[in-house]
Structure 1
Amino acid sequence: MGLLALLLALAVGYGIYEFLHSLASKEATPENPVAAHEVIRTALATLTFAGAVLAGVYAYRKQRLAEGDAHRADDKQLAERFTTAADQLGHDQAAVRLAGVYAMARLADDWIEQRQVCVDVLCAYLRMPYEPNPEAASTASVGESLSSTPAAYKEGEREVRLTIIRTIRSHLQPQAPTSWSACNFDFTRATFDGGYLQGSLFQGTVSFGGAEFSGRSFYFGGADFSAGRVYFGGANFSGGRVDFRGAKFSGASVDFTGAKFSAGSVYFGGAEFSGGTVTFTGAKFSGGTVTFTGAKFSGGTVTFTGAEFSGGSVDFRGAKFSRGSVDFTGAKFSAGSVDFGRAKFSGGTVIFIDAVYSGGTVDFEDVTGAPQNWGPFPPTDSGG
């Protein structure tokens, strides 16, 4: 390529020289004998310029080719790192799987184009069948939602899973050197044996659909859902606790549609809802609790449309409503309770249109302000 460019430059320069020389020969006179020298000077200048341009083009093309080779080499190396990390995550020994977690996380930091893929692999690991209790291996497994065969207990597996959650949390902090906040996280039907995501910034979608919370607590304390969406649809709370203490919902949504609360709890104490929504449509409360003690609603909405309360409770004691609303349209109360004791209303609404009461209670004792109530209240209501 370089030789061809040089020959082309020489040919063009020689052509220009011959043309100008013949022209100068016709114009030369005894009174102007230096015309030929001017032609030579002009031709040399033109040739030099043409050579410089072609040399620049050649250098640029050579640099682009070198960069392309380097990029392909980098992609190959990153792909090899991905394969190695994935193999480690599938290893029988917990120590090797832990190394795979860290390797995949480092790769996600380095490989921007495939960061979501690396995050998907870590999330997929948590979605795999998991037996947290070795003594329960012979009974129904929590992993049966993914496989008809109970998951076998693995030594050190809980630590591997908690490490994945900690790694994700560290990359969701506002001050994280490399942020994963814009990524989506799919924990559908995963089993959680505890974990912490406090202070995390969610800008994408997070799914806990059908997840199992049957033991230890899972914390979202102080998390910011200003631009994200969290889905708990169909999740099963049978002993675990999900804690949103002090979380901020300003435009985001948290969806518990169809979730089942048989013994677990969800805690929103001190959370701030300024435009965000929390949906419990069709949720079933047969023993679990949802607590909004001290929460602030200034435009946010909490919906329990069609929810069934047959033993569970929802607690709004001390909550502050300035523009927010709570909607129990079509809810069924057979044994559960809803408590608005000492709540403060300055423009908020509580809606009970078509709600059905056959034993449940709704308490408005010591409420400050006058909530705008739509729909009938049960006879057991002690305050309203």
Structure 2
Amino acid sequence: MLWPVPRTPTGEKPLRVMPWWLVLVGLLAAGLLGWLVLDWLLGEADRAAQPDTRATLRIDAIRTGLTVVAGTGGGLALLLAARRQWISERAQRHQEAVAAQEQAHRDRAQAHVEAVAEAGQRHQDRQAEAAEHDAAERRLTELYTRAVELLGNDKAAVRLGGLHALERLGQDNPAQRPTIVAVLCAYLRMPPADADAGEAEVRRTAQRMLTRHLRADDDAFWPGVTLDLTGAHLDGFDAAGCTLVDADLTGAVCAGTTSLAGATVRGRLSLGATFADLICDDLRGDAEIVLDDARIAGRLSFDRAEIGGGLSCRHATVARAYFRGTTVGRTASFDGTRFTRSATFREAVFLSGLSMDHAAVGGYAGFRQARFADLALFRWTEFGGQTWFERARFDGAANFGRARFHDLATFDGATFARPPLVDQARAAAAGPHVWPEGTTVARLDDDWLLLTDP
């Protein structure tokens, strides 16, 4: 935008031209003044008595009159000279002001031109970036599409190539990693081909790719991705040392040993699946761990795990369970769970409530030196083998109402903050049981003892 240049600087009035008649009036006034002075002085000279004196006085009067006229004219000339000087100075100031305004106008015009040029350059840069982005996106799409097509090939070797292509794409493009992990999980959720050794290798490779990028101490770590393996078919899934965020294995079928040993878990870890063995030793994190309806044919181990969130293992079926030295920060529930062979909770710490209502332990049940910081419920629990609460510590209420002890039960050295409730609990008549202090024991028949509260 261009701005007009004003003719006069701001705050100054326009300069007016002096009219010619004003100079004429000044001259006439000077002549009139000189004439009046001359007339007055001549009149005074004529009053002298002596002719010589009178003549001298008249000469002096004429000289004085001419002097007055000359002085008046000189004053007028001085005023005109002063006006010319003032006009000259004002003209100089005006020229300087006009020059400054013109320079400012040129600067604004230059700035405008530069701004327009910069805006044009930015527009060109944006267009170039958009074009480059579109080209990169097209290339990524082509690579991704090609890799996915390879996964659908009939030959196992080609499918392996597709997996490695996807992994390389994710390693080079972090924004694509969640999508690539989703594709790998979807592949593992697909039913495997029967008796296909090549397909088994492809699936194991996909598993290794997933877990390789979930280890925080590895340069290939992909943070912020989640695993959706619901209903997946896994074989020897090894996520030991991985960082798992909202991992979901609900309904999965896991052959071999599934290992989460030393893993760090966040959010929610859903393990309601079928396992041959599930090892979670030294697991850490604040995730809520859900094993509801899980089926574990062999070993379930959480030895030395530190579970900051809750633990839910309702209505699960477990052959052998190990929670030795485990710490659970929130409520732990094993309601309705069947431990077909044994369950060991030696030195486990439950910082919140523990509930094993309607649970069943087919063999040995060990709670030696376990600590229950809050409510501990064992109502209607079936203990099929020896049950040990030796030196266990109950800081809250404990309830064994209607529980059944089919073999030796001992609470030797156990401490209770308040008397435990054992109303209508039953125990096998044979065996040297050790009950909590104050428990009333009566023989029900030849096979059973009846426990009642004092």
TM-score interval (norm. to shorter)? 0.7 to 0.9
After the TM superposition, which residues 54-203 of structure 1 pair with which residues of structure 2 at under 5 Å, given as runs? 54-130=116-192, 151-177=193-219, 179-202=221-244
SS where residue 206 of structure 1 aligns? coil
Alignment of 1:232 with 2:277, yes or no, is no
After the TM superposition, which residues 1-384 of structure 1 pair with which residues of structure 2 at under 5 Å, given as runs? 12-13=1-2, 16=3, 19-20=4-5, 31-32=90-91, 34=95, 37-130=99-192, 151-177=193-219, 179-202=221-244, 204-214=245-255, 216-225=256-265, 227-233=266-272, 235-237=273-275, 240-248=276-284, 250-261=285-296, 263-273=297-307, 275-285=308-318, 288-292=319-323, 294-297=324-327, 299-309=329-339, 311-316=340-345, 318-321=346-349, 323-331=351-359, 333=360, 336-337=362-363, 339-345=365-371, 347=373, 349-353=375-379, 355-357=380-382, 360-361=384-385, 363-370=387-394, 372-376=397-401, 377-380=403-406, 381-384=408-411
1:23 deviation in Å?
5.7
Q: Please say if residues 297 and 324 of structure 1, whose CA atoms lie closer than 8 Å, have aligned partners that are also in contact.
A: no
1:197 deviation in Å?
0.8
1:223 deviation in Å?
0.3
Deviations 1:301-323 (CA, angstroms, capped at 9, x unpaired): 431112245x343222x233262
1:366 deviation in Å?
3.1
Instruction: Report how many aligned residue pairs link the two structures.
Output: 330
Structure 1 residues 175 and 319 mapped into 2: Cα distance closer, same or farther (>3 Å)?
same
Question: What is the distance in 2 between the residues matched to 1:40 and 1:341?
Answer: 95
- Per the alignment, residue 46 of structure 2 pairs with none
Structure 1 residues 343 and 191 mapped into 2: Cα distance closer, same or farther (>3 Å)?
farther
1:222 deviation in Å?
0.3
Structure 1, gaps ≥5 residues long: 1-11, 131-150
SS where residue 343 of structure 1 aligns? coil
Q: Please say if residues 266 and 291 of structure 1, whose CA atoms lie closer than 8 Å, have aligned partners that are also in contact.
A: yes
1:154 deviation in Å?
2.6
TM-score by length of 1: 0.77
Question: What is the distance in 1 between the residues matched to 2:410 and 2:140?
Answer: 64
Structure 1 residues 282 and 21 mapped into 2: Cα distance closer, same or farther (>3 Å)?
same
Deviations 1:261-293 (CA, angstroms, capped at 9, x unpaired): 3x33221122123x32221112234xx22221x
Q: Please say if residues 230 and 253 of structure 1, whose CA atoms lie closer than 8 Å, have aligned partners that are also in contact.
A: yes
Deviations 1:333-375 (CA, angstroms, capped at 9, x unpaired): 3x7235125333263653113x253x73461253344465223
Question: What is the distance in 1 between the residues matched to 2:268 and 2:350?
Answer: 23
Which stretch has the larger CA shift, 112-121 or 338-347?
A: 338-347
Percent of aligned positions with the same letter in both sequences?
26
Question: What is the distance in 2 between the residues matched to 1:229 and 1:65?
Answer: 44
Structure 1 residues 305 and 190 mapped into 2: Cα distance closer, same or farther (>3 Å)?
same
Deviations 1:140-169 (CA, angstroms, capped at 9, x unpaired): xxxxxxxxxxx3333322222222222222
1:78 deviation in Å?
1.1
- Per the alignment, residue 81 of structure 2 pairs with none
SS where residue 108 of structure 2 aligns? helix
1:224 deviation in Å?
0.9
SS where residue 242 of structure 1 aligns? strand
1:330 deviation in Å?
2.9
Structure 1 residues 158 and 343 mapped into 2: Cα distance closer, same or farther (>3 Å)?
farther
CA RMSD of aligned residues (A): 2.7
1:221 deviation in Å?
0.9
Structure 1 residues 176 and 157 mapped into 2: Cα distance closer, same or farther (>3 Å)?
same
SS where residue 398 of structure 2 aligns? strand
Which stretch has the larger CA shift, 41-50 or 51-60?
A: 41-50
Structure 1 residues 346 and 127 mapped into 2: Cα distance closer, same or farther (>3 Å)?
closer
SS where residue 319 of structure 1 aligns? coil
Question: What is the distance in 2 between the residues matched to 1:271 and 1:255?
Answer: 15
TM-score by length of 2: 0.66
SS where residue 289 of structure 1 aligns? strand
1:126 deviation in Å?
0.8
Deviation beyond 6 Å, 4+ runs, structure 1: none
Question: What is the distance in 1 between the residues matched to 2:107 and 2:393?
Answer: 90
Q: Please say if residues 309 and 330 of structure 2, whose CA atoms lie closer than 8 Å, have aligned partners that are also in contact.
A: yes
Deviations 1:173-209 (CA, angstroms, capped at 9, x unpaired): 122335434222111111222121111112x211111
Residue identity in the other structure for 2:167? A
Structure 2, gaps ≥5 residues long: 16-86, 412-454
